[in-house]
Chains A and B, each alone.
Chain A
Amino acid sequence: MENLVTVYFFGKKYEVPESLTIMEAMEYAGYQLVRGCGCRNGFCGACATIYRIAGDRTLRTCLACSTKVENNMFVATLPFFPLVKAVYDIEKVKPTEQIMMQLYPEIYSCIGCNACTNACTQELNVMQYIAYAQRGEYEKCAEESFDCVMCGVCSSRCPAEISHPQVAMLARRLNGKYLAPHCDHLEERVAEINNGKYELLLEDLMGKPISEMKELYNNRDIEK
């Protein structure tokens, strides 16, 4: 029999196997999850969770899907957090400092407490990427925030009421669309296709008998 640990979901006590993740432990305890459960593998940010270990005053945060239970863990889930999402037209915005001032002016109220960084479930330097956003350095903001899963824990801890994940989302789109180097070979290929360059080649392949296609496939050269 596996070792059991004591956990408290929303204050209620359960005994669960120590090898389980918090999410699995909730299911072990009998919860049929609807909210607070998404990809179950650390990519979607659905299962933001706040906890304390009895006797330790530190408030900790994590994703329930990728964190193991601990003994005397007091768990509260945060399946939704009301972030501010500014609406904009990606074709009309420009990667200037002004756009952040317009859409997310609260970022300039950051008091530098670093609570966001301390809370991040992905161990990102959140305060740093907000600083980049303040200065209009969107490429750096995009890079620093890239692994964000938008769980919202940072914002729940922010005294300046910043919606960090949405700020970073805007920065990444600005960077991807306007600042990243332009890809010429992509434009050229799209133009060729629009001119019908590959239609005959493709139709020729579609018309070939399977035996010939097998021959072509099994003997095709593979780029090193």
Chain B
Amino acid sequence: MYHDTFMQESIKKVEAAREANIRLDPRRMTAEEKDILLKTYHPDYRQEQFAELKMGPNKGGKVPVELAALLQGNARITSDQLDLTKPDYDVDVLVIGGGGAGASAAIEAHENGTKVMMVTKLRIGDANTMMAEGGIQAADKPGDSPAQHYLDAFGGGHFAAQKDLLYKLVNDAPEAIRWLSELGVEFDKAPDGTMITTHGGGTSRKRMHAAKDYSGAEIMRTLRDEVLNRQIPVVDFTAVIELIKDDKGHCAGAVLQNMETGELLIAKAKTVILATGGAGRLHYQGFPTSNHYGATADGLVLAYRAGARLLYPETLQYHPTGAAFPAQIYGALVTEKVRSLGAMLINANGEAFMNPLETRDVSAASIIRECSDRGNGVPTPEGFAVWLDTPMIELKNGEGTIEKRIPAMMRMFGKHGIDIRKEPILIYPTLHYQNGGVKITDDGQTDIENLYAAGEVVGGIHGRNRLMGNSLLDIIVFGRNAGRNASQKAKSVQVGELTLAHIDTFKKELADAGIDTDVVSPKLLPDYTRKV
């Protein structure tokens, strides 16, 4: 139920136009129209929101101002504060991060017969993977092919993807789905076993596999269960605050900090896999976020300080449909699957102002234009918003579709008295995904020997914009890849003397660049306590 008068009046227009809107298939924008739209309205193009890095591997490059402060921040410890000769943990493979990429990597490293340990600052499964709703792409149907998937992702990412990584992503995709199925993930299937697949924004074939709208949660809880079944040690509520190298300059472990007691611990490892996820909780440009509480770019900071290059750290994804109302769910993800199932984007006047299945960056920019210069937004307490006309789904696909296919969305809005089967919902872009991140080679290794990376912390797989369903795919494909390669490598690694000398090197570079800051990083958690 909407009590606001403007909203009620606007809904009447949406309802009046619904029959006509359903029959529309708004044309897709041309390449030129998209270019102009993005440059004018996409947040990545607001120059004043980016800072040039003055030091480090990406010196001269631009990143969001909030990230620049953390990348060029001070370490939480000094290089001589700890006795590195007495590690608390000594393992073959250390996995940092308890999300989908970390769990996949740990399972494969265990499968490969190595001693693997996971460390995570919250619980295993506290990750953006858990919150991914819509689905996972794989070209596994007749009429589709990995090459078609490659074309969609390469174009959708503005022809900037690292080609060898994208090759791996699309070509290993069906195997990723097979692996998950074998672990017991319940994909939506027809009675004959055919996968039920839909479009996502920017796909040319229906290759989005889903588990209702709990796709990520279903994958994550299954991976977690498998990690626990294999009795892989998981050190939870423990953050990594610094990487450790050996005297050869290879990554050889990490400094851990208990999130509750503050105790510092040393983990020594032959290889390390960074799977720390994204950065939504940095709230770039003041945007709300769909991300997990722990998404604070820690991995980028750890890797950068140790000397690893980042790729495309200036490209962020704003999910076009974040919840804009009510305030209690402001910024929460409204899965793209809502549009895949036929809901259209409608402005305050009841007009279908765009094709609902453009890529995410184009859709977000188009919504921002509608709510700003065009003045066609619906006012909410947090700003302007547009409608996502969910009742269309049941008109197109029959009664019961919403409860069956997107029960989480029905529940999320239902808790706040909005029945999405009968009423449209208000949405506005929300900070969703870090397109860029740590640069890797196709074996998953970063610039630093024996430091691997997987998942959202990596940059380059998707270019400058990621398609829906390619992130759940990426964490599985590249998580497994990193787990396999890091564990194989560990079998031949001789770790030298441990050192934190890179902290001093970095400190000197900061000083040389004239940076005098009181920022300490990695950030670990956002600070939402009220300041009085």
How far is A177 from B407 in the complex, measured between Cα atoms in Å?
Answer: 23
Q: Is B328 an interface residue (CB 8 A)?
A: yes
Known: A41-B131, A41-B412, A214-B159. A28 touches B174 (CB 8 A): no
Partner of A90, one of B130, B204, B229, B415: B229
A44 & B181 in contact (Cβ 8 Å cutoff) = no
B192 & A41 in contact (Cβ 8 Å cutoff) = no
Chain A residues within an 8 Å CB radius of B146: 193, 198, 201-202
In the assembled complex, the CB of A164 is this many whole angstroms from the nearest CB of chain B, namely: 14
Q: Is B19 an interface residue (CB 8 A)?
A: no
A39 & B204 in contact (Cβ 8 Å cutoff) = no
B154 & A213 in contact (Cβ 8 Å cutoff) = yes
In the assembled complex, the CB of A154 is this many whole angstroms from the nearest CB of chain B, namely: 16
How far is A36 from B259 in the complex, measured between Cα atoms in Å?
Answer: 13
Partner of B529, one of A32, A203, A216: A32
Give 26 A-B contacts (CB < 8 Å), ordered by A residue: A19-B327, A24-B328, A31-B529, A33-B528, A41-B412, A43-B214, A44-B131, A169-B221, A176-B183, A180-B187, A180-B189, A181-B190, A183-B187, A183-B194, A183-B195, A186-B177, A186-B178, A186-B181, A189-B174, A190-B174, A190-B178, A198-B146, A199-B171, A206-B164, A206-B167, A220-B152
Known: A183-B189, A186-B140. A205 touches B147 (CB 8 A): yes
Q: Is B39 an interface residue (CB 8 A)?
A: no
Q: Is B284 an interface residue (CB 8 A)?
A: no
18 more contacts with CB within 8 A, not counting A87-B228, A176-B186, A190-B178, are A32-B529, A38-B126, A41-B329, A43-B217, A67-B415, A88-B229, A142-B186, A172-B222, A180-B193, A181-B189, A186-B140, A186-B195, A190-B174, A193-B171, A201-B146, A202-B167, A206-B164, A218-B155
Q: Is A49 an interface residue (CB 8 A)?
A: no
Q: Is B383 an interface residue (CB 8 A)?
A: no
B191 & A181 in contact (Cβ 8 Å cutoff) = yes
B139 & A189 in contact (Cβ 8 Å cutoff) = yes
A213 & B159 in contact (Cβ 8 Å cutoff) = yes
In the assembled complex, the CB of B284 is this many whole angstroms from the nearest CB of chain A, namely: 17
For B328, give the chain A residue with the smallest CB separation: A21
Chain A residues within an 8 Å CB radius of B177: 186
Of A106-114, A143-151, A155-163, the one touching chain B: A143-151
Q: How large is the interface on A (under 10, 10 to 19, 20 to 34, 35 or more residues)?
A: 35 or more
For B294, give the chain A residue with the smallest CB separation: A38
A187 & B151 in contact (Cβ 8 Å cutoff) = no
A217 & B293 in contact (Cβ 8 Å cutoff) = no
Residues 137-155 of B, flagged 1 when their CB comes within 8 A of A and 0 if not, give: 0011111011110111011
Q: Is A221 an interface residue (CB 8 A)?
A: yes
B204 & A181 in contact (Cβ 8 Å cutoff) = no
A217 & B332 in contact (Cβ 8 Å cutoff) = no
How far is A86 from B195 in the complex, measured between Cα atoms in Å?
Answer: 31
B212 & A146 in contact (Cβ 8 Å cutoff) = yes
B31 & A202 in contact (Cβ 8 Å cutoff) = no
Q: Is A140 an interface residue (CB 8 A)?
A: no
How far is A147 from B30 in the complex, measured between Cα atoms in Å?
Answer: 40
How far is A150 from B146 in the complex, measured between Cα atoms in Å?
Answer: 36
For A20, give the chain B residue with the smallest CB separation: B328
Chain A residues within an 8 Å CB radius of B525: 32-34
Chain B residues within an 8 Å CB radius of A41: 131, 290, 329, 332-333, 412
How far is A217 from B211 in the complex, measured between Cα atoms in Å?
Answer: 29
Q: Is A66 an interface residue (CB 8 A)?
A: yes
Known: A21-B328, A205-B151. A38 touches B194 (CB 8 A): no
The 5 closest A-B pairs by CB, nearest first: A173-B184, A217-B155, A181-B193, A176-B184, A177-B184
Residues 91-122 of A, flagged 1 when their CB comes within 8 A of B and 0 if not, give: 00000000000000000000000000000001
Q: Is B123 an interface residue (CB 8 A)?
A: yes
Chain B residues within an 8 Å CB radius of A32: 525, 527-529
A38 & B31 in contact (Cβ 8 Å cutoff) = no
B183 & A68 in contact (Cβ 8 Å cutoff) = no
A175 & B184 in contact (Cβ 8 Å cutoff) = yes
